[in-house]
Structure 1
């Protein structure tokens, strides 16, 4: 597996991988409003993370295929972390998270975890910073990591 910064040529492949993971792991947790909001707003926002002026975005590749994607905004907010279903539980998520966090000197990292990823972030060392919430039908858990 190899991590590299995304390029505009990667957009379609990354979007497809994120869409596939979302359909399997994220969308089933939302009501109809949440599904609609996610599909119309969140997935198209992947393109915004390719803007290097405020995002550090990478892909994880295996056998010449994107199997993971992570994006860190302004050095302190993890906006996306997706791992293809077939490699979940094999360390790919930790590898991506380790990598993006080495790219920032920020001491506090925050995110809005999908409900199904909460345990992953807790195991990494993140803490829940608020109650599970919902915005336009999208459920999330606010979390943060304070680094020494």
Structure 2
């Protein structure tokens, strides 16, 4: 597995991974409003992660094919971690999160985990900081980790 900074040409493959994972793992947990809100926001927001002044964004590749995507905003808030269904369970997500934490410039990194990803983040050392929340029908769990906690 190789990891590198995202390039504009990667957006189509990244969008496909985000759509695939969202349709299978995330959207079934949302009400109709949440599904609409997520679809309206998340895919268009992928292009925003190309702004290197605000984001550190990386992709995982295998045989020159993107299998994972992750971004951290302002070096303290993880906005995206997506791994293609075929690559899940192989350590790609853990490696992506570890690399994002390497960009961190504070003592703590936060995120809003999809409810289906809560146990993934807990296994990496993240802790829920509040009960499950909802925003326009999108369910999430606020979580954080001390930067030096993952290995």
Corresponding residue number in structure 2 for 1:15: 15
Following the alignment from structure 1 to structure 2, what is the Cα–Cα distance between the partners of residues 123 and 24? 21
* Cα shift at 1:65: 1.1
* Cα shift at 1:103: 2.0
Contact 2:79 2:111 in 1 (8 A): yes
* Cα shift at 1:83: 0.6
> Runs of 5+ in structure 1 lacking a partner?
none
Following the alignment from structure 2 to structure 1, what is the Cα–Cα distance between the partners of residues 147 and 109? 8
Following the alignment from structure 1 to structure 2, what is the Cα–Cα distance between the partners of residues 46 and 16? 11
* Cα shift at 1:101: 1.0
Following the alignment from structure 1 to structure 2, what is the Cα–Cα distance between the partners of residues 67 and 115? 22
Provide the secondary structure at the position in 2 that maps to 1:61.
strand
Following the alignment from structure 1 to structure 2, what is the Cα–Cα distance between the partners of residues 110 and 98? 13
Normalised by the length of structure 1, the TM-score is 0.97
* Cα shift at 1:50: 0.9
> Runs of 5+ in structure 2 lacking a partner?
none
* Cα shift at 1:105: 2.9
Normalised by the length of structure 2, the TM-score is 0.95
* Cα shift at 1:147: 3.1
The number of residue pairs the alignment matches comes to 148
Corresponding residue number in structure 1 for 2:72: 72
Corresponding residue number in structure 2 for 1:51: 51
Provide the secondary structure at the position in 1 that maps to 2:17.
helix
Following the alignment from structure 1 to structure 2, what is the Cα–Cα distance between the partners of residues 119 and 56? 24
Q: Which moved more, 1:123-132 or 1:99-108?
A: 99-108
Superposition map of 1:30-41 within 5 A:
30-41=30-41
Corresponding residue number in structure 2 for 1:107: 107
Q: What RMSD, in angstroms, separates the aligned Cα atoms of the two structures?
A: 0.9
Q: Deviations over 1:51-101 (max 9, x none)?
A: 101000000001221100000000000000001111111111001111111
Structure 1 runs, 4 residues or longer, greater than 4 Å off: none
